[in-house]
Amino acid sequence: MDTTPETCLDSRTDPAARLRETGREPSQALDPKSPVARFGTDRPLPMDSGVMLAPFQVAYQTAGTLNADRSNAVLICHALTGDQHFAHTHPVTGKPGWWETLVGPGKPVDTDRFFVVCSNVIGSCMGSTGPASLNPDTNRPYGLDFPLVTIRDMVRAQAMLLDHLGIGELLLCIGGSMGGMQVLQWAALYPERVFAAMPIATGARHSAQNIAFHEVGRQAIMADPAWADGRYLEAGTRPSKGLGVARMGAHITYLSEAALHRKFGRRFQAGSAPTFSFNADFQIESYLRHQGLSFVERFDANAYLYLTRAMDYFDLAEDHGGVLANAFRGTRTRFCVMSFTSDWLFPTADSRAIVHALNAASAPVAFVEVESDKGHDAFLLDEPAMFSAAKGFIDAAARARGL
């Protein structure tokens, strides 16, 4: 993969020169075609770490058409390793958009009726400013000099993008996992801009267990000599081994024991006997290795460190005096919270805690627990029960907005 010029960030290319020549910064290397909103030094991003990030940029994709009243806008918030390609072929993998199950013509998030926006989060690596971007102070990639990012920083950047696109109020803000965290943060930070909110398979804080899994992934990356203290872009190396292992570990948490058993069981990759070696004898091993290998082609290791950290830091109650209900006090946003029975990364109890807080804040809230054995990733998969609930909620919200 390091031989493909378009995806290569090696030492022979001076990133600053590249920016001058192409008008594209290094974080756009994987995806040079997504539209980008650029914010200059006059419009910095105020970050929770105290840093005013400037200049910065947000890459995004849209589908559908904004109506004359600008009342049909939907914001999709992507998950940890997601990106803005929710309903478009991915520029690196060539795969369909990651949420084409839910979003598209005639789908619950109907692009024939709604104007759908999804931006790459700040700190990521698909065109928005992140650790792979050029630090204007040094003309080198930020690396670990990039300020720590929070979910709230991501949401502030999204709000600036919506301002840029001329969108005031969102009909719907929807997302799963880390995307669901952003949805909750949107509802807490800009309640007047969110008519309806749909946080899926998420929590109002990251659990100790989830932080633990993330830490294992980060340590795997940092233990890879090619990581080079985060300066691998300049060193011309790629911590693919570490990032791959991080992805393999994380991927297990996105599935369920039942789903793994159904898909792979104890089946052997070739033949029916062990090879008495450490080759990938079992199908599940081969599958995980494939997940790790394909992930490193489309993701930046430092971005993975930053985004996992952002999720770890997320604790919406802590931001509101320890009482989650205070985050939603006086809100008029209508909520539909959704969880999946076999999701052990963000179990139903996490969703119920959100629902209880919304009830305590007298917010209009619906809650659905979808029966599924597919684990956390169920929100990305073909789950008719999720689609029918989402369609009911979204259509009712659209009716209430006169759409």
Partner 1 sequence: MSAQPDIMGDAGAPWDAADALPRAEDAGGARVDHLVVLGLVPPGARVLDIGCGDGTLLALLRDRRGVDGRGIELSREGVNACLARGLSVIQGDADTDLANYPDGAFDVVVLSQTIQATRNPRIVLEHLLRIGRQVIISFPNFGHWRVRAELAFRGRMPVTAMLPEAWYETQNIHHCTIRDFVGLCRVVGARIEKATALDARGHPMRFSMPWWVWNLIGAQGVFLLRRE
Counting contacts by CB under 8 A, is residue 382 touching partner 1?
no
62, 116 in Cβ contact below 8 A?
Answer: yes
Min separation Cβ 389 and partner 1, Å: 5
Catalytic-labelled residue, pool 83, 343, 350, 377: 343
Helix, strand, coil % over all residues of the chain, rounded to 5: 40, 15, 45
* Nearer CB in complex with partner 1: 51/355: 355
Query: ∠ at Cα 120 (124, 84), nearest 5°?
Result: 130
Is residue 356 annotated as part of the catalytic site, yes or no?
no
CA pair distance 278, 14, nearest whole angstrom = 41
Is residue 251 annotated as part of the catalytic site, yes or no?
no
Which of 19, 396, 401, 403 touches partner 1 by CB under 8 A?
396
- How is 192-256 classified by DSSP, letter by letter? GGEEEEEEES--SB--HHHHHHHHHHHHHHHTSGGGGGGTHHHHT---HHHHHHHHHHHHHHHS-
Amino acid at the residue 111: T
Counting contacts by CB under 8 A, is residue 195 touching partner 1?
no
Counting contacts by CB under 8 A, is residue 389 touching partner 1?
yes
CA pair distance 25, 120, nearest whole angstrom = 14
Is residue 110 annotated as part of the catalytic site, yes or no?
no
Beta bridge partners of 118: 61, 76
Min separation Cβ 385 and partner 1, Å: 6
* Nearer CB in complex with partner 1: 199/217: 199
Catalytic-labelled residue, pool 153, 256, 376, 377: 376
Amino acid at the residue 144: L
Counting contacts by CB under 8 A, is residue 317 touching partner 1?
no
Catalytic-labelled residue, pool 124, 128, 177, 240: 177
Which of 334, 342, 345, 350 touches partner 1 by CB under 8 A?
334
Min separation Cβ 18 and partner 1, Å: 49
Count of residues near partner 1 by CB under 8 A: 28
Amino acid at the residue 236: G
133, 141 in Cβ contact below 8 A?
Answer: yes
Min separation Cβ 170 and partner 1, Å: 18
* Nearer CB in complex with partner 1: 231/352: 352
* Nearer CB in complex with partner 1: 198/221: 198
Element (H, E) at 246: helix 240-254
Beta bridge partners of 339: 369
349-378 footprint of partner 1 as x/- string (CB under 8 A): ---x--xx--xx-x-xxxxxxxx-------
Residues known to be catalytic: 177, 343, 376
